[in-house]
């Protein structure tokens, strides 16, 4: 199988794609784990594995997302099923979960993940905050079915609601979201892989704030006084939304992702005594 692995790597490299993806494609084609694949490399490929590997490669060369080929991604240590048409959880969003876990929340917080997709944020928070009452909203039925399936597989209790934004919930301690934040103009320059994800989970109007802005304003009524709002946004917009909230009396700050880009908005609703 070494020859097959090297051939896959060469084709990926020639197409400008990561050579390391050859391991994933070959593991999928053979049905072996990465560890078992490494031990089996000196052996011939199992029957049919070479044909499957080349078929998978052709799909990847057509820029079909690797995550959809594999059918699973790891997010904050959790294995999550992914399907075409539902947003693929990104590593940057793990930073949003980490920020949520660092907040001074009450012992049994009420948490809402808006636009949950695969359920990534809600499930990651519930896995680390078992006493939390976690809700998740989405308007996409396919995403909600997938999120519920992930929750069942992981044995985590999250209440999923088909609803826009905060779904009419009140008295929350934390509203967290990775909303669509790409401007419509980005469609022309977007990587081909994005065409396989739900555009409603990616693009948000001319400026990229068509979802985040109303969500931030709606969160004002959904959060208890002193509650927190956490959003992942595009670097060019995160400061704009932070300033909007400051003008409404919120504490708001912008935090950077691991690549050093302004990425996260952490805001706190004013306590009752400050609201007059």
Same domain, 89 and 200: yes
Tell me how far apart the alpha carbons of residues 203 and 80 are, in angstroms, rounded to a whole number: 23
Whether 67 is covered by a domain: the verdict is no
Same domain, 136 and 249: yes
Global pTM reads 0.93
How many Cβ atoms from other residues are within 10 Å of residue 61's Cβ? 13
Residue 188 and residue 83 share a domain: yes
Q: Is 174 helix (H, G, I), strand (E, B) or coil?
A: strand
pLDDT tens-place string over residues 46-73: 999 999 999 999 999 999 999 999 999 9
Same domain membership, residue 25 and residue 153: no
The pLDDT of residue 35 is 86
Nearest Cα to Cα of residue 100 among 268, 270, 266: 266
Q: For residues 56 and 86, state if they share a domain.
A: no
DSSP state of 267: E
Question: What is the model's pLDDT at position 275?
Answer: 43
Residues 270-274: contacts with CB under 8 Å, at least 24 apart: 270/225, 270/226, 271/225, 271/226, 272/225, 274/249
Print the domain residue range for 22.
2-62
Residues 6+ away with beta carbon under 8 Å from 126: 132, 134, 156, 157, 158
Q: Which residues of the chain have pLDDT under 70?
A: 273-276
Number of separate domains in the chain: 2
User: Is residue 70 in some structural domain?
Assistant: no
CATH number of the structural domain spanning residue 128: 3.40.50.150
Residue 89 domain-assigned?
A: yes
Same domain assignment for residues 135 and 213: yes
Which pLDDT score, from 0 to 100, does residue 272 have? Answer: 73
- Above pLDDT 90, what percent of the chain? 92
């Amino acid at each position: 199988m070494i020859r097959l692995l090297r051939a896959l790597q060469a084709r990926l490299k020639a197409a400008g794609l990561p050579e390391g993806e050859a391991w994933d494609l070959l593991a999928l084609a053979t049905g072996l784990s990465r560890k078992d694949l490494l031990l089996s490399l000196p052996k011939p490929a199992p029957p049919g594995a070479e044909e499957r590997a080349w078929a998978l490669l052709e799909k990847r060369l057509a820029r079909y997302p690797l995550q959809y080929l594999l059918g699973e991604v790891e997010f904050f240590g959790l294995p999550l099923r992914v399907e075409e048409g539902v947003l693929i959880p990104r590593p940057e969003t793990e930073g949003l979960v980490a920020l949520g876990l660092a907040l001074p929340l009450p012992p049994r917080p009420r948490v809402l993940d808006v636009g949950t997709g695969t359920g990534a944020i809600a499930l990651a928070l519930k896995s680390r905050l078992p006493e939390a009452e976690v809700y998740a909203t989405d308007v996409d039925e396919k995403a909600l079915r997938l999120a519920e399936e992930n929750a069942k597989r992981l044995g985590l209790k999250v209440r999923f609601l088909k609803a826009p934004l905060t779904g009419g919930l009140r008295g929350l301690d934390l509203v967290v979201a990775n909303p669509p934040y790409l401007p419509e103009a980005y469609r022309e320059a977007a990587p081909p892989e994005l065409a396989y994800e739900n555009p409603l989970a990616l693009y948000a109007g001319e400026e990229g704030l068509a979802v985040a802005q109303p969500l931030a304003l709606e969160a004002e009524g959904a959060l208890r006084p002193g509650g927190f709002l956490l959003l992942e946004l595009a670097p060019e917009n995160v400061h704009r939304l932070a300033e909007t909230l400051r003008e409404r009396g919120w504490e708001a700050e912008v935090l950077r992702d691991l690549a050093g880009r302004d990425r996260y908005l952490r805001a706190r609703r004013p306590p009752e005594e400050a609201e007059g």
